[in-house]
Structure 1
């Protein structure tokens, strides 16, 4: 296992429901199966990350299948790039585990890790998806050994780019998912006077070379309740007036575009 102690950075060994390092630091495994590797001094707030209410809304939306094409595409992408053996893959900002579980199914001989700063998210994920090793931790300080991971997946999640280059093996991969130009443009039209398309991401990652990029775009027909849940999941929620929420909630159907950009990077 490639987990390291968040305090001294020594390797962690799992023994009888605890994770322990040579320096004597110990982290108990919760009854749901996850481990909390977020020390108090690294939290930044009392309960960092998404609230339980937000997480439940996200799970309900994802369970309805609207983002299943994205989930399948991410899992297939990894399976195509990685060998069929005992690879180690990290999903940063995994939330309640929807995408992580699909990655684990696509790589049955590998070890999948899901990381999120929100304990409520990791608790939900660990209860449902037993094939994944989930941990509460900060994406700014990844609790993984140097050059220990075959791939890292970043779906809309914040990260520390120096940490990505530290933990991914030479020749390993980083898969990012970002909004495509037309993503949820119909929601934007309800909120802004002028709708601007998402700008193409022209990002680079130090130590990585871009090897592939794909677009995934398709229409979604949402119920009013699911449209509200989707809006809750987006940054647009902070800008939406009460009238927008009411319009969505009372609608029988809401049609909008899903548009994603998947970019594959390889560690030099």
Structure 2
């Protein structure tokens, strides 16, 4: 176990249904199995992260299998590079656990952690996926010891790059998923006068070197309600006019592209 106290940064040891550090700070395990390591002074808002309504819409969309190719791609890369006994892996910004569960299946010998700032998301994840250790915590202050993680997966999630460098051990991996150039371009056509392709992410993580990059591009056929759910999951939702939502909901079929870049980095 590599968890550390979010208040004093000392190791957390599990005692029955609680986690305690030597300074006496205690964090009780919820009945669903997760632990809340987000102190009030680090929350930033009353209920940070996605709302329960957004999470339910995302779970319904993901359960329909539209992002299954991405799920399989992520799990396959991890199995190839982190298949050793006892690897510790973190799904950063895990949401309701859809991808985390696939990682656990692909790496049965690993210890899987799922972290999200949204308590509602972690509660949903912990209730469904018992093989994973879930925690409510901030991606800006990872509750993991220095050089304790063999890998971190970042699927669209915000992060603190210094924290990634601190927590990932030498030789460990960071797997990122970012939008490919054509990702959901059909939604853009409904919202913007001119459709601009996603610019390639020219990202460099200090202390890491890029060892692999794969493009995953496929077409999806969605029902109107599924298209609405997907739009709710995207940044485009804030710019969509009411008529866009109404037209999507009333449509019998909506075709759009999924386009992802999966990039693997290795810690120096």
Q: SS of the residue aligned with 2:259? A: strand
| 1:82 to partner: Cα distance | 1.1
Counterpart-to-counterpart distance in 1, 2:83 and 2:93: 24
Residue 7 of structure 1 corresponds to 7
Residue 29 of structure 1 corresponds to 29
Counterpart-to-counterpart distance in 2, 1:125 and 1:14: 20
| 1:91 to partner: Cα distance | 0.4
Q: SS of the residue aligned with 1:89? A: strand
Q: Deviations over 1:231-260 (max 9, x none)?
A: 000000000000100111011000000000
Residue 44 of structure 1 corresponds to 44
Counterpart-to-counterpart distance in 1, 2:92 and 2:166: 14
Residue 107 of structure 1 corresponds to 107
Residue 76 of structure 1 corresponds to 76
Aligned pair 1:237/2:210, yes or no?
no
Counterpart-to-counterpart distance in 1, 2:43 and 2:190: 36
Q: Deviations over 1:96-153 (max 9, x none)?
A: 0000000000000110000000000000000000000000000000000000000000
Q: SS of the residue aligned with 2:56? A: helix
Q: Deviations over 1:183-234 (max 9, x none)?
A: 0000000000000000000010011001110000000000000000000000
Q: How many residues align?
A: 268
Residue 55 of structure 1 corresponds to 55
Counterpart-to-counterpart distance in 1, 2:75 and 2:221: 24
| 1:84 to partner: Cα distance | 2.9
Aligned pair 1:190/2:186, yes or no?
no
Cα contact 2:93–2:114 (8 A) shared by 1: yes
Q: SS of the residue aligned with 1:205? A: coil
Counterpart-to-counterpart distance in 1, 2:83 and 2:224: 42
* Structure 1 spans left out of the alignment, 5+ residues: none
Q: Deviations over 1:49-95 (max 9, x none)?
A: 00000000000000000000000000010000113311000000000
Counterpart-to-counterpart distance in 2, 1:139 and 1:27: 18
TM-score by length of 2: 1.00
Q: SS of the residue aligned with 1:100? A: helix
Within 5 Å, give how 1:89-238 maps onto structure 2: 89-238=89-238
* Structure 2 spans left out of the alignment, 5+ residues: none
Moved over 2 A (4+): none
RMSD of aligned Cα (Å): 0.4
